[in-house]
Amino acid sequence: MSECRSCQPGELLYRVTAGTDANEEVLQGILPFMRASGVVVKEEEGAVTVRESGMADFMDFCRDHMNTSGITFRLDGEEERRPFEALAPLLDARWIDSIVFQGRVVPYCQPILDRDGKLFAHEILSRFAREDGTLAPPGEVFRAAKARGRLYALDRVCRMSAVKCAAELPGKVFINFIPTSIYAPEHCLRSTVALAGELGIDPSRFVFEVVETEYVEDLAHLKGILDYYRRRGFQYALDDVGEGFSTVEMLRELKPHYMKLDMGYVRGVAGDPRKQEVALKLLAAAREIGAVPLGEGVEAREDYDWLRQAGFELFQGYLFGKPAPVHGKQA
């Protein structure tokens, strides 16, 4: 099964624009050497496309012999130009490539309980192993992946790892996905659907959790992704529902199977009338569309008691268990 370039990317290519006549003159002088080195992919007037394998040396040369304030670059396939100063951090983040290409994802899971305290599901949380075996902070990994155009590939690796975990865990499995990392669901998600089928796992056991909805600019595209999941028997949840982007209006638009109340309104809710007001409003909205309400980030017994009494049906947080490695799984 073939995958698009975003899911299976190769070496990065940099289109570097000289910016000034003086820089262009210097560039023309070193092009013969760069051609002989095999790092030049394409030549244009005032610009050159260079393989990443040659970019570190080229960057040092530019610093020594050009006015770097005029130099800009963009990654092949992207439209946005970046200043020369953004080049070094991008090259420094090359470590993310080995995590993606080698699939160094370490799956963790956190339990989700029902009103009776029984296990209902697990949420799969991806952690990432450095070459020395230590874990890299997830935020750092995703920032590096986004900067280098690897977010699509990283999201796919995490998704596939999480699907495999479902074979080892009881109940449902909640799997995060970033809507902006999926171009076309029929292409980007088919390997996920195929893997679930190969493992013989009933699609109804999967709940795909929409995260980072604040970055979604095309709501119709997101609806298309969710419809793709729904038509294939999967369920989906809306994460971090509160007063920001994931509001009552978003709930009504997306009609998720599960609504996860933002932990900012969970922690301390037992003693905060304002948080109680928001929680009850969102609870009513969830019931209106038939979504199961879930409180996440539950740490205090009094908050759990309040949410349970209010009518929330599922609960997740340190009170019930911290994220822990999925036993027997090795990324």
Each residue's pLDDT tens digit, 216-239: 677 888 898 899 889 999 999 999
Residue closest to 18 by CA, chosen among 72, 56, 76: 72
Give the rounded percent of residues in the chain with a pLDDT score beyond 70: 91
Q: Residue 1: pLDDT above 50?
A: no
- How much is the pLDDT for 5? 47
| Rg, C-alpha atoms of the chain | 24
pLDDT of residue 329: 41
Counts of helices then strands in the chain (DSSP H, E): 12, 15
Q: Which residue has the higher pLDDT, 220 or 31?
A: 31
Phi/psi of residue 94, each to 5°? -65, -20
Full-model pTM: 0.83
Query: Pairing mode, if any, of strands 40-44 and 206-210?
Result: unpaired
Distance from C-alpha of 261 to C-alpha of 266, rounded to nearest angstrom? 7
In the block, residue with structure tokens 């998704």: 159
Q: Is the alpha carbon torsion for 242, 245, 251, 255 positive or negative?
A: negative
- Looking at residue 190, what is its pLDDT? 80
Q: How deeply is 266 buried, as exposed, middle or buried, from its count of CB atoms within 10 A (0-12, 13-18, 19+)?
A: buried
Computed from CA positions of residues 223, 229, 231, 235, in that sequence, does the dihedral angle turn out positive or negative? negative
pLDDT of residue 149: 84
Domain ranges of the chain: 13-90, 95-325
Reply yes or no on whether the pLDDT at 191 is more than 80: yes
Say whether 207 sits in a helix, a strand or coil.
Answer: strand
CA distances from 64 to 25, 27, 58, 67, 193 (A): 14, 12, 10, 9, 51
What is the average per-residue pLDDT within 92-104? 93
Greater confidence, 212 or 124?
A: 124
Kindly report, residue by residue over 289-310, the tens digit of the pLDDT: 999 999 999 999 999 999 999 9
Non-local CB neighbours of 19 within 8 Å, separated by 6+ positions:
46, 67, 69, 70, 71, 72
Question: N- to C-terminal Cα distance for the chain?
Answer: 21
Residue 179 in this model has a pLDDT that exceeds 60: yes
| CATH class of the domain defined by 95-325 | alpha beta
Q: How many CB atoms lie within 10 A of CB 53?
A: 12
**Contact, 22 vs 212, CB < 8 A?**
no
